Structure 1
Amino acid sequence: MTTPPRSPRLLVLSTVVLAVCGVALLAVPHGQEQPAPGSSPVSVTGVPSSAAAAPSATAPTIAAAPSKPSGASPSPVVPSALPPHGEGAAGDEAIQQSLEASWPADLPAADERELLTTGRALLRADVTGVGREKWPELFPHSPAVAPAFTAARFRIQAAIARQDGRPNRAVVHLVWAGMDRGGTFTDLRITDWHFTRTTTKGAPAWTPQPRT
């Protein structure tokens, strides 16, 4: 039994149908590949989302101001805030204000007054020799050692008293001016006197320590 030959029209129709199906399959988009875990997704504009999360260049940055540790030495006096050399007593107030601004007070007012009074007297005794007999343990060689500066041209320009690392220790920081026995006058000199808090006859007191 023989198979009748296929109609040419049927062959053409089958070819067209197969071609249409092939084009339709090519037009269907394949499933999008999911990004790997941990990778940065891409926004519709093509810019990585990590860039969108970056802080704005104009956003202000807040930084904590460094705090001054207890017992730290005072900041150097800012030259621009000081009067010129040789200004005289008229410029002492500016020096005092600069010291107080660079090293804020941290002692009770009564202790500060006591320390400043003793510190000023010690500086005068050390520099000019006046009053050294009050502290024989600090000036054991007086009056054999002549003072370097004259009392008439000695002036304390500024002074502050602050804690020196611990509550029972303090330092008096002094800025002063004077003329030495050679006739040379200089100002803005710096001297520190250190103290410890002790108890004498039941009463607490600040005791000056020998200078090294």
Structure 2
Amino acid sequence: MSQRPTVVVLDYGSGNVRSACRALSRVGAEVELTATPEKVLQADGMLLPGVGAFAAVMQQLRAVDAPRLIDMRLAGGRPVLGICVGEQVLFEGSAEKGDCEGLGQWPGRVSLLKAPVVPHMGWTHVEVPQGSHLFAGVEDQRFYFVHSYAAMCDPAQLMSKGPTALPLTTWAEHGSSRFVAAVENGPLCGTQFHPEKSGEAGLTLLENWVKML
């Protein structure tokens, strides 16, 4: 029997991470909630959760040296998956409550959704690009969103073409906003929605990610 891949869920003070831990365990991962640097760096995969305001999350991440740890993981080609605000902080910054710098892994900034009702809360279909590995088998499904801010620009269009493949961007809509629902970029992936709260479709997406570890 093959060994279960190890996944660290980064423990930096973000709330509501138990459901993500349970979902990852259910789809075949050996999961640990920790911020111990050695464990974060050695795990096969790292999940970056995020609940709350962008600036507060960034402050909490810096307190556990997460920017450096994430850089080190990605430099070694070790997978990282950001969820909700954990996906937003991978961009250059956010306009939420002023202006706050993010981790800068992807170009572009996060801004307020333009819609009659904010936050965007509920189940929404997504527009999946060809070649997606994360969404294999669930391309036509809906996923669960809870957010008021999102990235609106395609990071692939803002990145210079080079020897590495450009990110694959999945889109969704709320009100008049077309926003980034997910990004696949080699070892770095992110989803604006909560896969751990998205039923069987979300579990399939997490299982697809775990299989890539």
Q: TM-score when scaled to structure 2?
A: 0.24
The structure number with the bigger radius of gyration is: 1
By percentage of residues, which structure has more helix?
1
More relative contact order, 1 or 2 (CA 8 Å, 6+ apart)? 2
Q: TM-score when scaled to structure 1?
A: 0.24
By percentage of residues, which structure has more strand?
2
